[in-house]
Amino acid sequence: MPNRVEALTIVLDPEHTVSGLLQRPPEAAALFVMAHGAGAGMTHPFMAAVAQGLAERGIATLRYQFPYMEAGSKRTDTPAVAQQAVRAAVATANHLLPAAPLFAGGKSFGARMTSQAQAEAPLPRVRGLVFLGFPLHPANRPSDARAAHLHGVRIPMLFLQGTRDALAEPALLAPLVKRLGGAATLSLVEHGDHSFHVPKRATSNDVQVLAGLCDTITAWIAAIPRPAAPPAGTAPP
């Protein structure tokens, strides 16, 4: 059975919902709950390409809209509203594939909102966070203040970052990841910008970069240890 994309409705509260897209290959090895960036929603070509690439590697994805994007607004949600959407998407993922190892994160704004949610209170069953272009600071305003909450994240984190990312100065990001300790892994895309585009002079092209991102995510997920099986007669964590 080929992987398929299924449209979903994710319930935030009794009065609010957002759209979601579940893409799952047969016998998915894991499920990645993937939030979009600030300027484009879950159907952006980059999001769709990552979902397809991961599906080809046996990883299911759940993409979803933040409420502002669902409403057609250009103004991002407050952290509280965005984190509510993150938690609702993770809850939906747990319901859809309860046996699959669960990971969360996303692109830029989605990565930051997911990490903030995890730092505030652990996301149920989520074993690790994957950041596709973590927005460490605004463009041309280098700082690592946005990352202070990451020290409260107690699960593994994978930072996928371009070396030309204007929102993550390499001289700030690499020391930050080192300070986070063994739970944090940094994978750099040489010459990549915040959208992982590379210039023509680069030794790789955008298609190869995307394949590399999906390979890295897949290998990192596979390397995360599975929790010990609970004693017979007890519920799984």
Torsional sign, CA 114, 100, 54, 219 = positive
The pLDDT of residue 211? 97
Q: What is the DSSP string of 170-224?
A: HHHHHHHHHHHGGGEEEEEETT--TT----TTSSS-HHHHHHHHHHHHHHHHHHS
Q: Average of pLDDT values for 151-168?
A: 96
Lowest mean pLDDT among 92-96, 99-103, 158-162, 202-206: 202-206
The pLDDT of residue 1? 46
CATH for the 4-223 domain, from 3.40.50.1820, 3.40.50.410, 1.10.260.40, 3.40.50.720: 3.40.50.1820
SS (H, E, C) 124-169: CCEEEEEEECCCCCCCCCCCCHHHHHHHHCCCCEEEEEECCCCCCC
Q: Is the pLDDT of residue 227 over 80?
A: no
Q: Average of pLDDT values for 23-33?
A: 95
Q: Is the pLDDT of residue 116 over 60?
A: yes
Q: Is the pLDDT of residue 230 over 70?
A: no
The pLDDT of residue 232? 57
Q: How far apart are CA 86 and CA 105, in angstroms?
A: 9
The pLDDT of residue 128? 98
- Average pLDDT of every residue of the chain: 93
Q: Average of pLDDT values for 225-233?
A: 63
Q: How far apart are CA 33 and CA 25, in angstroms?
A: 15
Spell 57-88 as b/e; 16+ CB within 10 A means b.
Answer: bbbbbbbbbbbbbbeeeeebbeeeebbbbbbb
In this predicted model, what pLDDT tens digit does every residue of 162-216 receive, in sequence order?
999 999 999 999 999 999 998 999 999 999 999 999 998 887 899 999 999 999 9
Q: How far apart are CA 157 and CA 73, in angstroms?
A: 30
Q: Average of pLDDT values for 140-144?
A: 89
Q: Which of 98, 101, 91, 88 is nearest to 59 (CA)?
A: 101
Q: Which of 114-118, 168-172, 223-227 has maximum average pLDDT?
A: 114-118
Q: Average of pLDDT values for 79-84?
A: 98
